[in-house]
Amino acid sequence: MCGRYASARKKQELLEEFQVELDGAPETELRPDYNVAPTKNVYAVMCRAPKTGDGEKAERPVRQLRTVRWGLVPSWAKDPSVGSRMINARVETVREKPSYRRAFASRRCLLPADGYYEWMPLEGGKKKQAYFIHPAGGGLLAMAGLYEFWKDPGRDDDDPLKWLCTCTVITTTAADRLGRIHDRMPMMVEPERWADWLDPDLRDPSDLLVPASPDRLEAYAVSSAVNNVRNNGPELLEPLEDSGDAPASL
């Protein structure tokens, strides 16, 4: 699964990197987050038709950057608490599961990340070593995601908190050396496929989801400080020296 990641880029960097046409949260600037955990607010790139001045939808969808909550809440959910259990959607079943299939057909997004964390069991199985997995040579990851809107029946229609937008990360089998750390990894979308992945009119994007090539990502051991969600700073990304219990890098 993908349960923690780092997203420290400034909004302006993301607007430029993803060639965003509309800032969907103009008054929101998320702080750099080196320990993104479920239920936190995160940036998501999506393509939707914005509303015009008279409340009608524009003729064409445009690429937007929005703030959403990590942990997908289906529109039919009784309350948003289910989102904490739906932070990942397995690529093998995302087309069929009721919680994800409608979003997979038309509400797909990209979740920007500098990298993500996974934990590898050490010999004996009682302890785990945290690893930070990131693009080789730097750069940004665009994790494949889905988003959904949930309407709070307990709020008035004019309440700005009436609608909750949430997301989930699509995961796949981790291969080669990354599979030694954990058997699952986020599914990535390469830049040349961003437009098609975000296109709400493309109903079956299955062919766009291809696991990252083995040489695309690197991993190195990091401090156990990342285990506590209250710890949050660039020091979480600092590599550990080889302790002898687990390799410092893979």
Q: Is 2 a catalytic residue?
A: yes
Q: What is the pTM of this model?
A: 0.93
CA 26 centroid distance within chain = 20
pLDDT digits (tens), the chain, 250 positions: 689 999 999 999 999 999 999 999 888 899 999 999 999 999 999 999 887 666 667 778 999 999 999 999 999 999 999 999 999 999 999 999 999 999 999 999 999 999 999 999 887 778 899 999 999 888 999 999 999 999 988 888 888 788 999 999 999 998 767 888 988 999 999 999 999 999 999 988 988 887 777 678 999 999 999 999 999 999 999 999 765 555 666 5
Rounded to 5°, angle at Cα 63 from 61 and 67: 115
8 Å CB contact between 87 and 168: yes
Q: Is 96 a catalytic residue?
A: no
Spatial CA neighbour of 199 closest among 58, 17, 48, 15: 48
Residues 6 or more apart whose Cβ sits within 8 Å of residue 52: 58
Catalytic residue among 2, 47, 109, 165: 2
The pair of structure tokens assigned to 58 is 């524009």
The pair of structure tokens assigned to 225 is 């400080």
User: Rounded to whole angstroms, how far apart are CA atoms 208 and 108?
Assistant: 12
Catalytic residue among 13, 16, 92, 118: 118
- CATH number of 5-115+138-211, picked from 3.40.50.1100, 3.20.20.100, 3.90.1680.10, 3.30.590.10: 3.90.1680.10
Distances (CA, A) of 226 to 38, 118, 184, 217: 14, 10, 19, 20
8 Å CB contact between 63 and 21: yes
Can you give the residue ranges of every domain in the chain?
5-115+138-211
Distances (CA, A) of 115 to 49, 123, 139, 140, 229: 30, 25, 9, 8, 16
Beta strand 62-70 pairing with 163-173: parallel
8 Å CB contact between 237 and 135: no
Residues 6 or more apart whose Cβ sits within 8 Å of residue 53: none
